[in-house]
Amino acid sequence: MYRAPFRSFRSLSTAARSSLKIGLIPADGIGKEVIPAARTAIEALGSDIPKPEFIELLAGWETFTRYGVALPEETVKILRSDCDCALFGSVSSPSRKVIGYSSPIVALRKELDLYANIRPVVSVAPEAGQTPAVDLVVVRENTECLYVKQEEQIITENGKEARATRLITERASRRIGKMAFDLALERQRKHLTIIHKSNVLSVTDGLFRETVRKVHTFPDAEGKYDSVSVMEQLVDSAVYRLFREPEVFDVMVAPNLYGDILSDAAAALVGSLGLVPSVNAGDDFVMGEPVHGSAPDIAGKGIANPIASIRSAALMLRRLGYTKGADRLDTAVDQVIREGTTLTPDLNGKSSTTEVLDAVLKKL
């Protein structure tokens, strides 16, 4: 079965829930196709989870063009007050600067303090029970680095000059480090790789590196992580090794930008971005999010791969403690991929989004 990144990871409380309120934010592009597919898969789990109640919410570029705001205050308010968890689709952020616009997913991570983006990249073994060829997890700090979006452009005698502020704090580095150590502790290999570029960025990446390395020395962690082996890798050489020998990696922890790039690159190892899920996790909330983007070239064609969104729903449920339901989703997806007869074009198949979803539902 697909190897979940935190089967025994500390879950949010599931006590006395008669229903599970899930915020749905399809946002833009193929998000409007794959998030409904994930919803249908969740509904098919029946008694393995509390009765799901779905709340449709707005965010994204289309929301901005219609209402002048990419992340309405009402969306954040409802997520905080009415939802147990959420699923986010994809956003079509423009590559040019648009006055008043800022990425809603970046804003949501900050608003809800979802400081960890956890992205497992796992291949499906040819036979059930066999070891996957690729089995790693990228743990990405989610709230700072260059994503604080503090940029400016000035005019000098040599023309335009653009600058961006990169923020790395001890607090953020410590808690993402702890998240990564805890995750490594729960995995079979118990191996953690700290990704950085402190040979060049000695102050910012240096602080990240040093802080993560010290996590196991904190008073509340005395002896806890003794079984976790730790190594470091410069980010550029990490990309090289990722493609040459992915088996050397187990859990990779990285600042925001590096983690974003590494996890997208790692998706190539398993065949498609359409297979790779993630969760944005904090101490009090979790939001599933497929790693792929809005894919405007195929949006509306009915051929988007729903597997990453279904996997993200499974990660979300597992984080909440509903392991049985999450396992069923993962096992069903594994079987569909292994059979290879019902796949979307990104996996060299000819099936539609609906056909892949139907195949998963039959396996459930």
For the chain, the domains span: 1-114+282-364, 121-142+160-272
Instruction: Match domain 121-142+160-272 to its CATH number in 3.40.50.300, 1.10.10.10, 3.40.50.2300, 3.40.718.10.
Output: 3.40.718.10
Nearest to 141 by CA among 207, 191, 87: 207
| pLDDT tens digits, 246-298 | 999 999 999 999 999 999 899 999 988 999 999 999 999 999 999 999 999 99
Residue 57's φ and ψ, nearest 5 degrees, are -130, 155
**Distance (Å, rounded) from C-alpha 47 to C-alpha 324?**
10
Q: What angle do CA 85, 88, 90 make, to 5 degrees?
A: 170
pLDDT band at 218, cuts 50/70/90?
confident
Q: What angle do CA 107, 108, 113 make, to 5 degrees?
A: 105
pLDDT band at 14, cuts 50/70/90?
low
Task: Identify residue 301 by its one-letter amino acid code.
Answer: K
Instruction: Write down the CATH number for the domain with range 1-114+282-364.
Output: 3.40.718.10
Q: What is the DSSP letter of 128?
A: T
Across 178-199, average pLDDT: 96
- Given this model, what pLDDT does residue 7 score? 46
Q: Which of 1-15, 67-81, 191-205, 257-271 has the lowest mean pLDDT?
A: 1-15
pLDDT at 125 over 90: no
| pLDDT tens digits, 72-112 | 999 999 999 999 999 999 999 887 888 999 899 999 999 99
- Judge whether 1-114+282-364 and 121-142+160-272 match in fold: yes
CA dist 27 to 34, 58, 158, 289, Å?
11, 7, 41, 11
Nearest to 300 by CA among 39, 27, 26, 30: 30
Q: What is the DSSP letter of 193?
A: E
Q: Which residue has the tokens 């392991």?
A: 323
Alpha helices in 187-255 (DSSP H): 204-213, 235-244
Let me know: does 4 contact 316? Beta carbons within 8 Å.
no
* DSSP bridge partners of 120: 137
